[in-house]
Copies of this chain bind each other. A is one copy, B any other.
Amino acid sequence: MESIVRNARREDMPAVLALIQELADFEREPDAVELTVTALQEDGFGDIPKFHCFVAERDSVIVGMALVYFRYSTWKGVALHLEDLIVTRAQRGKGIGEALYRRVMEYGLSHNAKRVQWEVLGWNDGAIRFYERTGARVLRDWHVVHMDEENLSEYCKKK
């Protein structure tokens, strides 16, 4: 049984959302996903898509996905951001994750990205080892900061 990686289509979004949920569970944030299939379809497949998605299929079933979009580095210029990459648990260890990862890197290179970047949980040693083996660098002195919707609205109310 061969697995293939291809561009996602609008009708793949239910399977993609299920994978997003599986990743959130793994990242110990099972209640964090507020996105819907409709939102994914509108946001990814409108006139100006907000992201690009790849899916991995095995025996015509979607077993993995990677979702990317472009960012802008004030040091380097256009950068590709890898937001999520996941292979469903039962299909791991078969090279499907690396096939998705490679496709993302090739997409970045072919779009002249000056960098591909993403975020990783500090305890995810397996992932970190893999990234470093491919030439990526974990910037341990940089942290991610979030102002969530509720606090954003609170902050903007104060003067």
Contacts and interface: CB of A to CB of B under 8 A. Distances in A.
B33 A75 contact: yes
B75 A146 contact: no
Interface in A27-58: 29, 32-35, 39, 43, 48, 50-51
Given A72-B51, A115-B152, A152-B116, A77 B35 contact: yes
Interface SS majority for chain A: mixed
Given A75-B20, A83-B72, A108-B152, A136 B146 contact: yes
* Copies held by the complex: 2
Interface residues of A, number: 66
Contacts of A63: none
Q: Nearest 9 CB-CB pairs, A to B?
A: A135-B151, A136-B147, A116-B147, A142-B144, A139-B144, A51-B72, A32-B75, A20-B74, A50-B72
